[in-house]
Chains A and B, each alone.
Chain A
Amino acid sequence: MSNVIQNDIVLSSRVRLARNYDDLPFSTIHSQGIATVCVQRTLQALNISQSNDEYTLYTLRDLGDVQKKSLMESHLVSRDLLQHNEVGAALIRSDQALSIMMNEEDHLRIQSIQKGQDLPHAAELAYLVEATLEKQVRFAFDNQLGYLTACPTNTGTGMRASLMVHLPLLTLFKQMGNVGQSIAKVGLTIRGMYGEGSDALGNVYQVSNQVTLGRTENEIIEAVTAVGRQLTDMERSLRQKAETADNMALEDQTFRAYGLLRYARRISSDEFMQNWSNVRLGAAMGKLPITIETADQLLEQAQDAHIMQWAEKRLKGDELNKARAARIRDLLNNE
């Protein structure tokens, strides 16, 4: 099996492991005191005092709304962690490839992200952190049920392997309903850009395993990778068909979107996402003078909280849309 990075369809690969300390009550019922123990114990086991060059500790209640949302937009923390504002914390590695969320639904959510389709590498990184921790601490584990988690849906490996995929043509041809049904049959699921309960903005979806018990980690990774490869084949074949059928229409559509992003003076988040999808399609098909990397950078940088961080002030409505357009122009002009 080749691990070639296929980033024309797959934006990124993510593996997260849910773990709980055996002797502490789960985060669902525990107190501020126990939450602090959980953070301290994790730092100690990883031999990190507070923040160092490699890791930064983010304690949610000390962060502003913009900074918290920006971490979520970068997929470094989950939406659920933000719901645990009083106790939630995250250790994030400087290269942003690893984050350890603490006091979310489970004590620990070790998460590793890689660009393109590379779940095996993402898993390897997550398990390296897990192994370091496991030498120092005892996780809740049962010989029959595996790693025990607050929600029985994660019990077993505690592992969620997911691929973020861009499927504009499958969406256009209304195939996502069928895709969802076939995926469910093999124990996987497909969701929107920010995971459970979120919309597929910009035709970006997350494919991940639903089942965590009774499968090995490799089986899970292979299943998600196989579905990723299948979706890639289907989307590519539709892209080729569109190109053969009416290349002019395809170029017109992607260049118009590119022109709009490049010259707009104000743009809402929704309008950006619609046009971004066409721009990324054009970049991935070699139609536009922009790389896939720039398109992916745009996706992150043009989100609300990132715009406010760039502008260094809180913005809303028209001001936010004007700043978004300026930021997009800036990124595209430097290409």
Chain B
Amino acid sequence: MLCEECHQNPATVLISVLVNGEATQRHLCASCMQKIQQNIAKGNIQSFLSSVLSSIVNASTKENFPPAEKNLACSRCGLTFQEFQKTSKLGCSQCYQDFREQLKPMLLRIHGRSQHAGHVPYVNAEEQEKQKAISQLRNKMDQAVSEENFEEAALIRDQLKQLASMKEGEENV
């Protein structure tokens, strides 16, 4: 295994660090270990800590991403998933669709939840209301048919037609 600090020499030393009650291990080469010891001796433990912390962040991010195809890329902006892993920044709204499976655990880790509960755009809100009304009417119509109440079923069918034509009409505007 290579040293996790310089990624060049073979790792020969294993150190354990306790951060927030969680033990993290780092594999280092003799030369990087010596540098760290010198830094600590000089009282400069900031650089050491930041390298440990970044390794924890990287490790946890790596662990949490489900395996992605090697060349997984956004179909619209071309950003690859590997590029996203480096910068943590997405390229466009389509990235969320194309990397949906990979992003799921990360979003859950950051936010603890995975379903939006807040404000909805005006257009979407209207559309959602309409979809809800349509599905309610469909259920009603199915029930009327199953009860052989065909007159009511026909009325509901007309209402559904009206709703559907409203939708088309709006889209043509």
Contact = CB atoms under 8 A, between A and B. Distances in A.
B119 interface: yes
Contacts of A25: 76-77, 91-92
Q: In this complex, which of B110, B113, B115, B123 has the most chain A Cβ atoms within 10 angstroms of its Cβ?
A: B110
A251 B123 CA distance: 59
Given A148-B93, A213-B113, A141 B118 contact: no
Indicate the size class of the contact surface on chain A. Answer: 35 or more
A309 to B, nearest CB: 34
Contacts of B92: 24-26, 29, 140
21 contacts: A22-B93, A25-B77, A26-B89, A29-B77, A29-B79, A134-B123, A144-B114, A144-B116, A145-B96, A147-B116, A148-B90, A148-B96, A152-B90, A152-B110, A155-B107, A157-B116, A187-B112, A214-B113, A214-B114, A214-B117, A215-B113
B88 interface: yes
B122 A156 contact: no
Interface string A207-229: 00011111111010000000000
Given A22-B93, A29-B91, A211-B112, A145 B107 contact: yes
Given A141-B124, A145-B116, A153 B110 contact: yes
A143 B124 contact: yes
Nearest to B79: A29
Interface residues of B, number: 31
Interface of B: 76-77, 79, 87-93, 96-97, 103, 106-107, 110-124, 128
A270 interface: no
Nearest to B106: A152
Contacts of A212: 111
B77 A213 contact: no
Nearest to B74: A25
B132 to A, nearest CB: 12
Chain B contact residues: helix, strand, loop or mixed: loop
Contacts of A53: none
Interface of A: 20, 22, 24-26, 28-29, 105, 127, 131, 134-135, 138-148, 150-153, 155-157, 159, 187, 210-217, 219
A131 B118 contact: no
Contacts of A150: 89-90
The 9 tightest CB contacts between A and B, nearest first, are A214-B113, A146-B116, A140-B93, A213-B111, A157-B118, A28-B89, A25-B92, A29-B91, A148-B93
A219 B115 CA distance: 15
Contacts of A213: 107, 110-111, 113-116
A215 B119 contact: no
Contacts of A153: 88, 110
Given A131-B122, A157-B119, A217-B119, A151 B113 contact: no
A219 B117 CA distance: 10
A275 B47 CA distance: 31
B87 A28 contact: yes
Nearest to B118: A157
Given A131-B122, A152-B110, 19 more contacts: A20-B93, A26-B89, A26-B90, A28-B89, A29-B91, A143-B124, A146-B118, A152-B90, A152-B107, A153-B110, A159-B118, A214-B113, A214-B114, A214-B115, A216-B118, A216-B119, A217-B118, A217-B119, A219-B117
